[in-house]
Structure 1
Amino acid sequence: MDFFKYNNHTGVSSDLYLSANDKILLKVENVKYSISQQFFRWFFRDFLRRAFILGLDARREHKGYQIVRSAGLKSPDLYCWGVPLSPFNNILSFMMIEYKDNLTPGLTYFNSLSESKKVEFMTMLADEAVVLAKYGYVHRDFHLNNFLVEEGVGLFWIDTHFRKLSIYKKKKWKQLSSSLIDSKLEGEENKNIILSVFKKSFDVYS
């Protein structure tokens, strides 16, 4: 089956590819370091990670899809995941998920909105993050391209790398607030919108 580049996750290590029949979205996690230019980093962080933690990230994400559904949030169907056997392959892991042509990458959708609609979008994103947090988890890499958007329906989570929230109130609040990074949310103003929703929902932790 042929796949074509769908969207580049700027600043992160995953790429998206769309199947020629427009039915499957392939998410590929690439190695982070070059074997020829950064050998020691490649050996200790990519090679050994693949050798001893085979498919750990993909397994975590598979579990994350189950968490999303259990929390009552939406995600595409997950068809399969895997890792290459060769240690010299530039791919660390891959996942094949359901694709619907009425879903738009989060960043693309966000950039198409008016300023007032952008505030509404960030509030919706925050509300979903609150649902996940109340279920006991926080996102490890909270950025807009980890979501797809269906107009009139809402968000679909396509990256499900989660961290279990602490049972201790102060640590839990620190985990939630530190998950928000300006550069991944298109600016400090957007981060503050989400943070304000967090504060209202978890005022006991602030």
Structure 2
Amino acid sequence: MKVTKAEFIISAVGPKQFPVDALPEIALAGRSNVGKSSLINRMINRKNLARTSSTPGKTQQLNYYRINDDLYFVDFPGYGYAKVSKTSRQAWGQMIESYLLEREQLKLVLQMVDLRHPPSKDDIMMYDWLRHHGLPVCVVGTKADKIPKTRREKHYKVIKQELGILPGALFIPFSSEEGMGKEELWSVISSYIGNENEGQAEV
């Protein structure tokens, strides 16, 4: 996809603030510092449209970015919510769950994991939850450029085994620095927003 227009729209703290223009939405989920903002910036060829929080783990909004007036990237807060209270964590978790299960505009979840490390418990729980509810998910392995090329396949194998990614399910290694995986990811996204009933890989 050729991106000619990209803009930040809103940091939504509840459903009443979600856009109402019915454009398809692609959600980005992952732990803090996994590289969600860097991926967005690489995908749209901008250096700093999406900015990382100065206090990772504290952000409690869904950040909406409109691309080409064709779709939204919806950036979730990092897992863990380490900087907020247990009560806030529970309320926020309920909102995220409601969004994932009830938002009709949601077409695909990009679950991002750091290729340098085995998946965390939160990574595994999220992937299992998405699959249990039948939500379309593509696992994106970030920071591929940080791993020597001769060792990358080993890291891919660990991620797939730990998460339980089945043959044919979506997994894309990605590097925001090198642009690796960018075209493949746009191809996947386009298949989900362009024709919702065809060409979708098993989830």
Structure with the higher fraction of residues in helix conformation: 1
- Using the size of structure 2 for normalisation, the TM-score is 0.28
Higher-Rg structure is 1
- Using the size of structure 1 for normalisation, the TM-score is 0.28
